[in-house]
Structure 1
């Protein structure tokens, strides 16, 4: 699958990069106890680590807030999705198990302090571009709210935007019926290429261990 970064993004953040994983013939199910247990214990650990700390001061979240600011979005109104996860944990409103794909997505997002999206490939159309949303673009998110995408970083196919490091649309969610999926790791620009590869491959390995199927990854960045 062809994935492109827009020049508009690269112009302001030359070291911007994303990890892309494509999965084929996977089986999404209820999460095994090992995943549910790790997610719960990790959230409890984060809760204690956050005592006397402000979530926006965490390195990964701070970096993603600065990205939103750079493109003209107030991160107090448009929070990176990983910040929203951390704020839930800080309030002890822990994430409960949803299903295997979403649970692993959330676990790695919390672990690496980066937004991660996973999408049903069968609901996407054509090549993918990571770009800035345009004036008038909007979509309905996973919570049923309509979101303006103007100046937000979005992932878009031939039909328009379907995902963002802010919140994903309701067009291509991974469900128990999903067999082919696309995962986008919105990496910290400060992460060097070798560490970006290790992080992405680690996520891919755990995902295929649970879901089976075949997978391959790539790091998309400025040439």
Structure 2
């Protein structure tokens, strides 16, 4: 299988770096205590950090997402996943929990203040791409049964003609969600040029190490950019 970033994505997001990890043999049946603790600490610290900036959208890693998405016509009603997550952390209280893998990558997302997401590879057929949407692409939202209409030209992760995310890093579809039964996974984190490739490299190393340590996974890491837009495994 392969994952490709189409070249026109870099015209809208210059300097974009993606930390991608493909992992097999995962045990996601329970939440490791170390993951729960890391998630709790990241949640608390990120909330405090956001408070220091006054709000989530003013954080220097979040503000460029708002600017880049606005430049391609995305409404502020569709914030990046990291802005939405940081807003929740800012409200305080106990962090929510979904499952081990999701809690694991959400902790990394808040620690570095970058988007992180993932797809269950056993639920996709490929090719996986980051591209602009086309006529005939379909998106099924969480909790829905029927596809929603999607305008041509949105930035999206796709599996063939199936849209896996809307507005790049806004919302994931019900397709290929990570569950406790997930055994093969594609994790991805996006670092804008304003944030820098060094953050993407640090995220990549942490995802790689954590997947091996906490989930017993066999891991293949990739650092992708305009110079290297393709991952094959």
TM-score (norm 1): 0.88
* 1: CA distance, partners of 2:160 / 2:182: 20
Distance of aligned partners of 1:144 and 1:82 in 2 relative to their CA distance in 1, 3 Å threshold: farther
Correspondence for 1:32: 32
* 2: CA distance, partners of 1:149 / 1:54: 30
Kept in 1, the 8 Å contact 2:29–2:181? The answer is: no
TM-score (norm 2): 0.85
Distance of aligned partners of 1:135 and 1:126 in 2 relative to their CA distance in 1, 3 Å threshold: closer
* 2: CA distance, partners of 1:94 / 1:82: 18
- Residue 180, structure 1, aligned to residue 184, structure 2: yes
Note the alpha carbon deviations across 1:80-113, whole angstroms, 9 max, x for none: 0111111111222543222110101110111111
Correspondence for 1:2: 2
| Unaligned ranges ≥5, structure 2 | 228-233
Q: Displacement, 1:68?
A: 0.9
Kept in 2, the 8 Å contact 1:4–1:220? The answer is: no
Q: 1:217 aligns with which of 214, 221, 224?
A: 221
Q: Secondary structure at the match of 2:61?
A: helix
Matches within 5 A, 1:65-144: 65-74=66-75, 76-92=76-92, 94-134=94-134, 137-142=137-142, 144=144
Distance of aligned partners of 1:90 and 1:125 in 2 relative to their CA distance in 1, 3 Å threshold: same
Q: Displacement, 1:160?
A: 2.1
* 2: CA distance, partners of 1:116 / 1:215: 17
* 1: CA distance, partners of 2:89 / 2:30: 22
Q: Displacement, 1:152?
A: 3.5
Question: What RMSD over aligned residues (CA atoms) do the two structures have, in Å?
Answer: 2.3
Correspondence for 1:45: 45
* 2: CA distance, partners of 1:179 / 1:122: 8
Correspondence for 2:172: 168
- Name segments (4+ residues, structure 1) moved above 6 Å: none
Alignment length, in residue pairs? 222
Q: Secondary structure at the match of 1:77?
A: coil
* 1: CA distance, partners of 2:149 / 2:105: 24
Correspondence for 2:22: 22
Distance of aligned partners of 1:85 and 1:193 in 2 relative to their CA distance in 1, 3 Å threshold: closer
* 2: CA distance, partners of 1:131 / 1:19: 17
Correspondence for 2:157: 155
Q: Displacement, 1:172?
A: 0.2
Distance of aligned partners of 1:148 and 1:103 in 2 relative to their CA distance in 1, 3 Å threshold: farther
| Unaligned ranges ≥5, structure 1 | none
